[in-house]
A and B are shown apart, each in its own frame.
Chain A
Amino acid sequence: MISTFKGLNRVLITGSLLAIALLYFFPILIKSSNNPSFYLQVVSVAVCSAILTISLNICMGYGGLLSLMHTGMQMVGGYAVAILAVKQGWNGWLALVASAVIGAIFAILVILISLRATYLYFGMITLAVNLIAMEAVRHGGELTGGYNGLFGVFAPGIPSGMMSAEGFYRVMITILILAYVVQRNLIFSGFGRNTMALRESSETATALGISPNMHRVKVFSVSGALAGLAGGLLSIQIGYAVADIGDLNNGLIFFVGLFLGGVGTLAGPVLGVALVAVIDFTIRGTGQYRTLVLGSILLLTMIILPRGIVGTYRASRYGSPRSREVMPGEADNYHLDIAVKNVTKGEVLLEAKDVVKHFGGVHAVDGISVQFKAGEVHGIIGPNGSGKSTLISALTRYHELTSGSVTLLGVEADKKPFKVARDGVTRVFQIPHLFERVSVLDNVLTGMYRRDKYSIFDAIFRTPRYLKANSRSVAEAKALLSLAGMLGMEELAAGSISHGQKRLLEVIRAVATEPKILILDEPATGLTQDEMHSLTSLIRTLAAGGMCVVLIEHNVAFLMDLADIVTVIQSGKVIAEGTPQAVQKDERVLEAYLGNTDFSKELA
């Protein structure tokens, strides 16, 4: 099986190299055809579309940001080149660079004003911006040429004979390959992992210390730069810039290409656009039936290949990664210093005083004070609806406090949840929040994001700094996986492993953030005996290293066995606190839970 997989991979790589070679030599191949300039134009325009679709993929496929303004970004890039190169007389190459920069600036401006909007609403803002941008261009007077647009945009040097159409075509192919590499390097780096983390769950990403807003700005600006560049190239290729290029209707090819190829896959956009270009080329003689044919093909493909070509391949027997065999003794290669730095055992890490959280008339948390200390396992119990989860959300700033205070290492805790996470408080949610479509290894690596001290540019260009940081992170991630007995499963999609493994993986990912306080919300639910054992030993190891592990648990036996101190909550108030033994005997606890048979049973 493994050899088939490798064999197929080799075929794919050889195929890609052949395709690149074919693209480079395409102008020579068509030289003797009946219409070389047309074929060159068709492929050139498809190349621009592919670059734009890569940009759309970064934004939508990986970033989960619904953008309906990519055609508008393309238009802006086109006008940037037209205005700078034709009207201002800039060097064409410089104008192309400017188109990317202006595309990025445009994107940044849009996302900055719409950070609060989520999903569909963000999509609608982009739609509105797209229309406003088109209207603005149409009313731009001399500068934009109004409704008629700007004409006479040529490839740098073409009129003076410095560069032939074929030469510019090869430049475009090179830019496409670069765009692909940028996409790939970004996605495989910490930047890409954070992007996907945000796509899968903004909440979880926040818990890992990722700033959703800052990261969205970065993703969208990278996407904007690529889209602007694609637009710049397009206006040179067709020779003019006109507002209609921004029309979303004319951007269908990007969406279609993206979905046909596979949204959120690396090769998907390029393959999809290539396919759409071929289809469009083939049906160009159908005249008034063209959109009918195109629409029907699109719908059929959605039904036959709902995940697109690459997505379907990845989900298939051949394309999906499988677990590898672990060499005997391999685990010994990975060492990990789990000890929490700069903390002394017993030191108060987090202190909550009189925390109150009301939802309207509901007093979910009604004046709780609690201390989390280094090196202890701190259990929190209480019946359903007693306010445990709300308390945690309040402490980690997911909820604003109604009153009370939270101090972290003696300082007032920051108001933003991702800052709290960065300051060393990592929580694992009650419902599994894994990044399901991402590999097991990448899930852990996402947790290490704050250790990666490289920039976007290091990632794109794979600088030594990036390579060094990356190999260190991978080794550490493997060490963590080994600790949970999950070595060998690195490449599996997180969605494909068992429930218990998912819970463990989530804990490991949280540990990867190097927290001082690790908050686990019912981690033992649904675990097998073996997995429970792994979890117990993991928690003990962590606490021994100086970490404070906060456990919210229903499984009292599990909790009482592990915890150093237990806090009992009822109706938003602490009714008892102490060692497990003390709490089990506490009058108030027994009294309070007398009527609650389940809980009494658990306590007994």
Chain B
Amino acid sequence: MLTVMERCFGERYTSTVSDGGNVFKKKVIIAAVAATALFGTAVTATAADNPGLVPKKVWDSKADKIKIGLVAPMTGIFAVLGISQRNSLQVVADQINAAGGIGGAKIELVVRDGGLDPVASANYAKELAGDSSINMVAGPSISSYYQGAATYYEAAKKLNCQPAVAALDFTDYKYAFRSQDYYKDTLTALMTVLQKRSIKKFGMIYESGPTGTDFDAYYTAQATKYGLTYLGWEKITSTATSHNAELQKFIDKGAEAVNISNNAYGAYTAKAAKELKYKGILMGGSGAQNIAFHETGGDDFAGTLMAAPNYQWPIRDKSLWQPGYKAHTEAVVKANGFNTGVKSGATSPNGTAIAADCLYAYAVAANKVRSLDATKVRDAMEKLDIPAKMTPSGVRIHPGPEHNLYQADGINVYEWRKDAKGWYTIEVNGVSRQAAACPEAGWIAKTATGSPLVCAKVSGKLVYRAG
């Protein structure tokens, strides 16, 4: 029981709700990306796919149903994780069904509540793995449970897509895809921004657990490459009702930035920063879109860095949103509403678009090979390259052999700001997004200093102009 408590405020999966966003983009093309080269994960996309916002019926599968399984905590401390995944999956399923289904087959979700119970999660993973009528599974969403379930999936050749497993190397699994930012990409993006801002020392306040362990190891190994001194990891647990002590230690050591937890725990660090009037930078992953952080951090939360896949929700001018992201998010809000922080007025939608990408990518791949066979769809998914403007998350999907739906170029770094109208973000990508060429009017890129460039047609020629 205690562990539950232990997880009340914190826990051990990484980012829950992540979409992604870019303030200035109209249509985004991510052209040359430094980070891609850095990790050698560049996928040479052949011809980009063009499935549209909702994949239409283009073939006859002769099946009447396509079942998508989801094992996630639907109850208890982490219920928000499972429920937002289900919300987004359901929206995509409804949209595809309305457009004729996948090869005429209607999509049906099969949801199982794995709670925080490794045994129940294993049972349900086995159920969904063993049921031949299930076409793809998402979850279990807790990394360590997933590691156990992966064996079942591999043995049953069951296609699965993981929207909440940040760690683990997916090249080990033949049938698994990750629809989340890979933590190394996220941390790299953050360190790049720190370097650009001439920051020298930073630390991390994170709950003890596998995610914190991975982060800590990566920072320890990589910080010096960015001219940074990593001051270490202050571990936190559930009994903490304040992070003042942890933050004070970093203040004493002269930390100019602190990496905060992606989970509700981060809210305590935000609160500590407010109480201690911390002058440095808070930074986090997609968890920093959690409005609890704004609630506790108050106006002092402004300036916080957030490295996440596309998250355009805080952009007030919706016409700037990625079309796919916009369509998905609006449908999610229509079906499930959005949250509002009573204190800060910050908002967030009740869904997680990265989970939606799982089903969207599956539909596109199945349509492409005109088959529901797991191996064939898997091969097709590997080769997908769907532009960011179409996907529900607004992030380009191009998994490649590593089976990460998003590559390093899918990570944006945002900075939270607040004005009279409320909270919004600006993009502060450290990774240079300067496009080699200006391919189409309206496309966006960045200068080396991060200012936006808009591709425009000037006297018949495509050139970049300041955005």
Contacts and interface: CB of A to CB of B under 8 A. Distances in A.
14 contacts: A38-B127, A147-B213, A149-B118, A234-B119, A239-B122, A239-B152, A242-B145, A244-B145, A248-B1, A249-B3, A250-B120, A287-B82, A287-B112, A288-B82
Classify the interface of chain A: helix, strand, loop or mixed: helix
A284 B151 CA distance: 22
Interface stretch (A29-37, A175-183, A348-356): A29-37
A45 B119 contact: yes
B116 A38 contact: no
A101 B452 CA distance: 67
A287 B144 contact: no
Interface in A124-157: 127, 130-131, 134, 138-139, 146-149, 151-152
A287 B4 CA distance: 19
Contacts of B145: 242, 244
Contacts of A34: 131-133
Tell me if B's interface is mostly helix, strand, loop or mixed.
helix
Contacts of A148: 143-144, 147, 210
B122 A291 contact: no
Nearest to B134: A35
Given A41-B123, A242-B144, A287-B74, A250 B116 contact: yes
A599 to B, nearest CB: 57
A108 interface: no
A245 interface: yes
Interface string B276-287: 000000000000
Interface in A35-87: 35-38, 41-42, 45
Contacts of B130: 35-38
Contacts of B60: none
A247 interface: yes
B8 to A, nearest CB: 12
A139 B4 CA distance: 18
Nearest to A245: B118
B2 A288 contact: no
A247 B79 CA distance: 17
A285 B111 contact: yes
B118 A250 contact: yes
A236 to B, nearest CB: 12
Contacts of B74: 287-288, 290
Contacts of B122: 41, 45, 238-240
Given A42-B123, A247-B3, A287 B86 contact: yes
Nearest to B2: A131
Contact of B123 (A38, A131, A152, A247): A38
Interface string A215-254: 0000000000000000000100011101111111110000
Contact of B151 (A149, A239, A291): A239
A221 B148 CA distance: 31
Interface in B57-83: 74-76, 79, 82-83
A290 B113 contact: yes
The 3 closest A-B pairs by CB, nearest first: A248-B1, A238-B122, A288-B74
Interface string B120-162: 1011101101111100000000011101100110001000000
B418 interface: no
Given A138-B208, A148-B147, A287 B113 contact: yes
Given A147-B210, A151-B148, A45 B123 contact: yes
Nearest to A42: B123
B67 to A, nearest CB: 12
Interface of B: 1-4, 12, 74-76, 79, 82-83, 86, 110-113, 115-120, 122-124, 126-127, 129-133, 143-145, 147-148, 151-152, 156, 208-210, 213
A238 B149 CA distance: 9
Contacts of A248: 1-3
A139 to B, nearest CB: 8
Among A34, A127, A147, A234, the most chain B Cβ lie within 10 Å of the Cβ of A147
Given A240-B148, A287-B82, 6 more contacts: A38-B123, A127-B1, A131-B2, A131-B3, A151-B148, A243-B3
A242 B112 contact: no
A151 B147 contact: yes
A37 B12 CA distance: 29
A146 B148 contact: no
A250 B208 contact: no
Contacts of A242: 118, 144-145, 148
A291 B116 CA distance: 12
Contacts of A247: 1-4, 116-117
B79 A288 contact: yes
Nearest to A139: B208
Contacts of A245: 118-119
A139 B79 CA distance: 26
Contact of B118 (A131, A244, A290): A244
Nearest to B112: A284
Contact of B83 (A36, A138, A288, A292): A288
A244 B3 contact: yes
Contacts of B131: 34-35, 38
Given A45-B119, A151-B151, A127 B2 contact: yes
A245 B142 CA distance: 14
A249 B4 contact: yes
B124 A240 contact: no
A287 B111 CA distance: 6
Given A127-B2, A147-B144, A148-B147, A238 B119 contact: yes
Most buried by B among A152, A243, A244, A248: A244
A284 B71 CA distance: 11
A343 B130 CA distance: 75
Interface centre among B123, B131, B132, B209 (most CB of A within 10 A): B123
B453 to A, nearest CB: 44
B44 to A, nearest CB: 34
Given A34-B133, A41-B126, A244 B117 contact: yes
Contacts of B126: 37-38, 41
Contacts of A292: 75
| Most interface-central of A35, A243, A286, A292 (chain B CB within 10 A) | A35
Contacts of B1: 127, 247-249
Contacts of A285: 110-112
A239 B121 CA distance: 12
Contacts of B209: 147
A240 B147 CA distance: 9
Contacts of A45: 119, 122-123
A522 B360 CA distance: 83
B148 A250 contact: no
